[in-house]
Amino acid sequence: MSKKLLQDIVKIKNIKVKNSIQNSVEKVANKQKVNNHNTRYTLWFVAIISILFFLFALSQLFLKATVTISPKMEDIVLNKNFSAFKEGSSDNFSFNSVILSGEETKIVIATEEKDFAISSKGKVFLYNNFSSSLQKLDIDTRLEGSNGKIYKTKKAVVIPGKNGDTPGKIEVEIYASKTGVEYDSAPLDFKIFGFKGTVKYSKFYGRSVGDITGGFNGKSPVVSDAVKENTIAELKESLRLKLLQKAIAPGFVLFKDAAFLVIDEQNIPFNAIGEVNVPITLKGTLYGFLFNEKKLTKEIVTNSIEKYDGSDVFISNINDLKFSLLNKENIPVKDLQNINFHLSGSAKIVWRLDESKLIADLLGKAKKDFNQVLLQYPNVVSAHLVVSPFWKMSIPNKIKDIKVIINYPK
């Protein structure tokens, strides 16, 4: 009986130890669970803070602002006379003269036929080895060529006297006394036919400059009058546009009707003897009046807008205005020192915005202060600000991060 009691006591002690150990294990496990739970919350907190920091850094990296501006504009109908002086001749409103020469060529087909009698032509140097005195020769002075044929001077000339042993010399154009290709020649020597039988005959002489050419007798293709007229008109317009393009300079205005093309229609070659394809060349000189765009704009606006305050403006369609020179029929266009002209048409006056100043005024400002800043710009009709990211409440503080778009007319 006592032995069994002892065994029961041992069992009870073992159970108590076992329960104690089990309770300790459970306590440790529960504590570990609590610690794991707290660690998980800490990690989430750190992750959220990191994400917020990353988003803040990212927002700073991509912080941008765009300002869209509609500037002040005013439409006027211009119909006024103006005066201008040649640049450098006065302190008043001025113009610059532009003078450009050029030529245009077109090959046309000769469809008609005509009889021609053409004299050979060339150039000759005439020498005075007779005395130091001048020698006058009349127009059509006869020259005897070393080929035995007679040629004539196209103009009256004066041959200078000789200087020591150096003969006086002058160049003159000549033409054959008769028509026909037989007067064409390689370079010739000449004597003055009228001096034959006198002491001057051997002391005055000539030598041709190059060949004598162009003589012709017979029928040859010619360009019709209708083709002539159309070709001249076409070449005029082409040459005019080409010279106008060359004359235009940045910052200056050259109105279409402020340029005048002068050509010599009397000397346009319309025939190439013996040729069906005839090259027609038109030569001309463009005389124009060039205006400084800023000065012209100021002159127009000052005379058109009441109480103009001198603000920086431009006329978006200034080249579309119609220019007309007053009394142009009675004045020498190429030698003008002052002009009177008329400008007419619809003009759109646009006020410029100082973009750099606006950006400087906006740097680092709160978005709510945007309209306050714009009060300093009375020539702004409307403006719209967009800041990204959208949650930013201030405008970037770096110039490169602010973009200004001004809706100027095109």
pLDDT tens digits, one per residue of 42-55: 666 555 665 555 45
* pLDDT for the residue numbered 18: 55
* pLDDT for the residue numbered 341: 94
> How many Å apart are CA 238 and CA 71, to the nearest integer?
39
* Residue 14 pLDDT level (bands cut at 50, 70, 90): low
* Residue 56 pLDDT level (bands cut at 50, 70, 90): low
What percent of the chain lies above the pLDDT cut of 90?
63
> How many Å apart are CA 368 and CA 183, to the nearest integer?
96
Amino acid at 229: E
pLDDT digits (tens, 9 = 90+) for 221-271: 888 889 889 999 999 999 999 999 999 889 999 998 999 898 877 777 777
Query: Residue 291, CB half-sphere, CA atoms under 13 Å: how many?
Result: 28
Structure tokens that stand for 3 in this block? 């032995």
Tell whether the model's pLDDT for residue 347 goes beyond 60.
yes
* In the chain, where the domains are located: 1-61, 64-73+352-406, 75-110+222-349, 114-219
Tell whether the model's pLDDT for residue 67 goes beyond 80.
yes
Nearest to 143 by CA among 163, 164, 129, 122: 122
